[in-house]
Amino acid sequence: MRELMLTTDPVVLSFVQSIMRDAGIEAIVFDQHISIVEGSIGAFPRRLMVPDVSWDEAAGLMREAGLGEWIAGSEKT
């Protein structure tokens, strides 16, 4: 598995999960249950992970959706 994105924004996370689901790419949210510890304040980012072999396709789909800056390792502008 490889990290596709890291975010504290639940809307963006949900949208990207939907894009991956529609494309048939397995996407798993890591750190989802940390909200129990943090008190649901959204301080800790969630990681969206995809299979290594699907990462390039998943990143391409995010770019097509205008979400290229959210790809892990990309510089936000």
pLDDT beyond 50 at 45: yes
In this prediction, residue 39 carries a pLDDT of 60
Contact by Cβ (8 Å): 59, 14: no
Q: With CA atoms as reference, report the closest residue to 59 among 46, 71, 77.
A: 71
pLDDT, tens digit, 9 for 90 and up, residues 11-31: 999 999 999 999 999 999 998
In this prediction, residue 31 carries a pLDDT of 84
Quickly tell me which residue has 């789909």 as its tokens: 61
β-strand partners of 5: 48, 71
Contact by Cβ (8 Å): 42, 32: no
Q: pTM for the whole thing?
A: 0.84
Cα–Cα distances (Å) from 1 to 12, 25, 46, in that order, read 20, 12, 15
